[in-house]
Structure 1
Amino acid sequence: MDRENVWKTYKPEDLDELERISRSYKECLDEGKTERECVKVAVRMLEEKGFRRLDQIIENKERLQAGDGVYAVCMEKSVAAFRIGTEPLERGMNILGAHIDSPRIDVKQNPLYENEELAYLDTHYYGGIKKYQWVTTPLAIHGVVAGTDGTVTQIHIGEKDEDPVFAVTDLLVHLASQQMEKKASAVIEGEKLDLLIGSRPLEDDENLKKEEKDRVKTYVLRLLEQTYGISEEDFVSAELEIVPAGKARDCGIDRSMIMAYGQDDRVCAFTSLFALLDVQQVKKTACCILVDKEEIGSVGATGMHSKFFENVVAELTALLVGESELKVRRALQNSRMLSSDVSAAFDPMFAEAFEKRSSAFFAKGLVFNKFTGSRGKSGSNDANAEYLALIRKVMDAHQVAYQFAELGKVDAGGGGTIAYIMANYGMEVIDSGVAVLCMHAPWEITSKADVFEAYKGYKAFILDM
């Protein structure tokens, strides 16, 4: 089915709203380059709209009622927010679920070393990346360092104009004849993704012996101590993420696209959050959950496999009607969800990887994937036909541009989302998101039109499903 390019349908007032959403989205991308930073952004925005922390409501022994906004945070890496509806919670929720972790490079726990008077941080990449894409590009360090005295130091180096940036080096082309013969997966090996962070040796002083080795490393450590008050031992209790340095930018001479790091899946996360923040009254309780660890299997305490979301729903049930395990189970099973995750945009430069009739295209609107997985739908949630029909009805009623797609050719590969995890509760779930070019690259590209239609679609879902 051919879908119209949605740019052709916009009126001036639509374009104004599109640009407003795009500006807000780019600001969120710049401020939220890690899952911790995304949670911080989300919490600030929620509180500005009057949402209150769940643990404080419990501590104050308050009750919840329709229209209340409430949120809970898990380990500063995941957040679940709710707008309480007029219908009983056990009749189900309308849930928007996205992930806020993105492929990157992590710093190891014993990382700092010197090699031939160059200082490096040893690293371990996170999620599915093409390793060769991360060399010779300006990189920044974001994260936290936790001290044994209870302090948590925020690290944020490489984003301001006056900041230094960092790099992973590559072999010069003049000497790369053997390297160029390797498979793309082996051109840059994981252990060669170490971050170059210094080259200046510490000068002689009364506390340094002339025969002292590793003076570049020593100078780096002295700067870390002076600037951040952290020592080499503190790396053990640190979470430092290496991400591309630079802001989200308009892309194209027509400014119709956005190029930025981490749009998988923050393009869906922030538009889902925008949708929740823009509704005041709902029939069914509306929920936006932003989780960590999807890129490595949704595992751990902050991933979708954890009991965090289920526990929060149990607490909400207790505050609304009293403790009831049965009503918690009913609330989960009777819910409907959009697993808000990105889809692969058709790229004519690599058309051979796509089946055109089943591909997502730029400026054709919000993408629905009945199933994801790989090859024979392995690891996929497969949405029911009746649910798809209801989705179509709601999107059409709200004049949301949308399309249905698969992730490339059947045998080309594949990918997964959090959809199948939430489907385990017996709720209706479908994958729904924005088409992305260069997915999992340091810089990804989306269409502003699709970002706008995603926001409209998510808002329609939580209002009328």
Structure 2
Amino acid sequence: MEHTEFNNDLLQFLNASPTPWHAVNTMKERLEASGFERLDERDEWALEQGKSYYAIRNGSSIIAFRTGKKGAENSGIRMVGAHTDSPCLKVKPNPEVRRKGYFQLGVEVYGGVLLNPWFDRDLSLAGRVTVLDEHGKVQDVLIDFKKPVAIIPSLAIHLDREANSNRSVNAQTDLPPLLMQASETETFSDLLKEQIANESGLKARKVLGYELSFYDAQDAALVGLREDFLASARLDNLLSCYIGLQSLLDTSGDEAALLVCNDHEEVGSVSAEGAQGPFLGEVLERWCGAGKGRAIARSMMISADNAHGVHPNFIDKHDENHGPILNQGPVIKVNHNQRYATNSRSAALYRHISDELGLPHQTFVVRSDMGCGSTIGPLTAANLGVTTLDIGVPQFAMHSIRELIGVQDGFTLYQVLKEFMQREEML
């Protein structure tokens, strides 16, 4: 895969994945097209060496792996981890808000959302809906309106003279998106049943529940005078999901390799399908059996999650020796208080592979007077006892509705992770 092909395919992946459920479904389709076999957690597994498999939990987390030709307990597993969720606005269970003939939906803030950029954007709506179909069967269906169906209008500056100097956002009162002007008889459930019928032909008798998110209807795009950058929603962290997926798909399959993409990282990872849950450990147990401990002792995890590039307008927000620049390589993330799981040995292996390939890399350490975010890296390292590296592509506007990366860095990380996943010797 070449640089231009990589980014063009990345754009398609991002546009097809407005929610964790859609992202997992997109990955599932690509895995199956490459010969990966689906495993059902409810069934017995009979795994074979040299084969490729995947498992899905809750529709929003996925683990895909190649068993390799030598046995994981003998060669270790080359693991890459990412997360499928992104900060967003999720629709409340009883969402209808009717004022002055306008139809709005109440929303709950999911994760650490940068709220101001959500105003005056064309918004669409997507997610999972659980329905009772016409035959009395409970079904989950994915929906995606794929067009602008809502907007959160700003208050005019004439009515808020301090908007440019002292603007705050009340998540309860300021954020309900405006969908339409509607009569009192139109309901949100009716709109969902109509959309389900339009998308899948399924006639839903009743909407039993949903997990729906608003998202930016503007497609991902290359931007900049020379197209140095790629702008999109959900780069944190669908970019890493895509890189990990492509790395796994393009490996030789000789060595045992695994990709895990967990949901709920943005809210702490405490769920059945989150990184603090048992999903990865249970898959490894069923794969390796009594050899699980030996396999983990020979394994390494690379937790891929985007890093903060040094913003040219806010240079003082970075340590002066650790300000990653876009398009100058992926960023090894270090925090000695274990907000990142990187240690000198795991960082050394990445640097060694990167140097062998002639590819750039950078290092990030947060300013000593600022707090540090975290990733699935420390959680996975603690749960499994596996040597772990935290790394990511540098970006601007993290947790905004539209984020920005350099066009070189994702492809660089892909090349290193591909080599890592098929490397015979790791540590």
Same fold (TM over 0.5): yes
Q: 1:119 aligns with which of 92, 103, 107?
A: 103
Residue 282 (structure 1) shift: 2.8
Residue number in structure 2 paired with 1:459 = 418
1:82 corresponds to 2:65: yes
Residue number in structure 2 paired with 1:405 = 364
Residue number in structure 2 paired with 1:208 = none
Residue number in structure 2 paired with 1:71 = 54
Confirm or deny: 8 A CA contact 1:132 1:188 kept in the other structure: no
Question: What is the CA deviation profile of residues 262-295 of structure 1, one whole-angstrom value per residue up to 9, with x for unaligned ones?
Answer: 0001111101110100012333x11111110000
More helix by share: 1
Confirm or deny: 8 A CA contact 1:282 1:462 kept in the other structure: no
Q: 2:130 aligns with which of 140, 146, 152?
A: 146
Confirm or deny: 8 A CA contact 1:434 1:454 kept in the other structure: yes
Residue 303 (structure 1) shift: 0.6
What CA distance in whole angstroms lies between the structure 2 residues aligned with 1:146 and 1:415? Answer: 34
Q: Which amino acid aligns with 2:277?
A: S
Instruction: Call closer, same or farther: CA 1:341–1:226 in 2, change over 3 Å.
Output: closer
Q: More displaced, 187-196 or 142-151?
A: 187-196
Q: Which amino acid aligns with 2:317?
A: A
What CA distance in whole angstroms lies between the structure 2 residues aligned with 1:400 and 1:144? Answer: 40
What CA distance in whole angstroms lies between the structure 2 residues aligned with 1:451 and 1:176? Answer: 41
Residue 382 (structure 1) shift: 4.2
What CA distance in whole angstroms lies between the structure 1 residues aligned with 2:299 and 2:265? Answer: 21
Confirm or deny: 8 A CA contact 1:275 1:459 kept in the other structure: yes
Q: 1:331 aligns with which of 295, 299, 303?
A: 295
Instruction: Call closer, same or farther: CA 1:457–1:58 in 2, change over 3 Å.
Output: same
Q: Which amino acid aligns with 1:242?
A: F
Q: Which amino acid aligns with 2:397?
A: C
Residue 114 (structure 1) shift: 1.0
Instruction: Call closer, same or farther: CA 1:297–1:227 in 2, change over 3 Å.
Output: closer
Write the mapping of 1:93-108 to structure 2, written as runs, cut at 5 A: 93-108=77-92
Residue 219 (structure 1) shift: 6.7
Instruction: Call closer, same or farther: CA 1:378–1:106 in 2, change over 3 Å.
Output: farther
What CA distance in whole angstroms lies between the structure 2 residues aligned with 1:221 and 1:82? Answer: 39
Q: Which amino acid aligns with 1:339?
A: S
Q: How many residues align?
A: 413
Instruction: Call closer, same or farther: CA 1:294–1:226 in 2, change over 3 Å.
Output: closer
Q: Which amino acid aligns with 1:457?
A: V
What CA distance in whole angstroms lies between the structure 2 residues aligned with 1:188 and 1:180? Answer: 16
Q: Which amino acid aligns with 2:138?
A: G
Residue number in structure 1 paired with 2:379 = 421
What CA distance in whole angstroms lies between the structure 1 residues aligned with 2:171 and 2:36? Answer: 46
Instruction: Call closer, same or farther: CA 1:259–1:64 in 2, change over 3 Å.
Output: same
Instruction: Call closer, same or farther: CA 1:181–1:53 in 2, change over 3 Å.
Output: same
Confirm or deny: 8 A CA contact 1:343 1:433 kept in the other structure: yes
Q: 2:322 aligns with which of 339, 358, 367?
A: 358
Question: What is the CA deviation profile of residues 345-380 of structure 1, one whole-angstrom value per residue up to 9, with x for unaligned ones?
Answer: 111111121123111111111211123xxxxx5551
What CA distance in whole angstroms lies between the structure 2 residues aligned with 1:231 and 1:117? Answer: 27
Q: 1:271 aligns with which of 243, 247, 251?
A: 243
What are the ranges of 5 or more consecutive residues in structure 1 without an aligned counterpart? 1-15, 202-213, 318-322, 372-376
Question: What is the CA deviation profile of residues 221-278 of structure 1, one whole-angstrom value per residue up to 9, with x for unaligned ones?
Answer: 65544444688973x6111111111211011121121100000011111011101000
Confirm or deny: 8 A CA contact 1:198 1:220 kept in the other structure: no
Instruction: Call closer, same or farther: CA 1:144–1:389 in 2, change over 3 Å.
Output: closer
SS in 2 for 1:97: strand
Residue number in structure 2 paired with 1:51 = 36
What are the ranges of 5 or more consecutive residues in structure 2 without an aligned counterpart? 198-202
What CA distance in whole angstroms lies between the structure 2 residues aligned with 1:363 and 1:251? Answer: 14
1:198 corresponds to 2:157: no
Q: Give the structure-2-normalised TM-score.
A: 0.90
Residue 411 (structure 1) shift: 1.9
Write the mapping of 1:387-398 to structure 2, written as runs, cut at 5 A: 387-398=346-357
Write the mapping of 1:366-385 to structure 2, written as runs, cut at 5 A: 366-371=330-335, 378=337, 380-385=339-344
Residue 456 (structure 1) shift: 0.7
SS in 2 for 1:238: strand
What CA distance in whole angstroms lies between the structure 2 residues aligned with 1:98 and 1:129? Answer: 19
SS in 2 for 1:147: strand
Q: Which amino acid aligns with 1:23?
A: N
What CA distance in whole angstroms lies between the structure 1 residues aligned with 2:51 and 2:240? Answer: 24
Q: More displaced, 145-154 or 88-97?
A: 145-154
Confirm or deny: 8 A CA contact 1:131 1:190 kept in the other structure: no
What CA distance in whole angstroms lies between the structure 2 residues aligned with 1:181 and 1:137? Answer: 21
1:287 corresponds to 2:265: no
SS in 2 for 1:300: coil
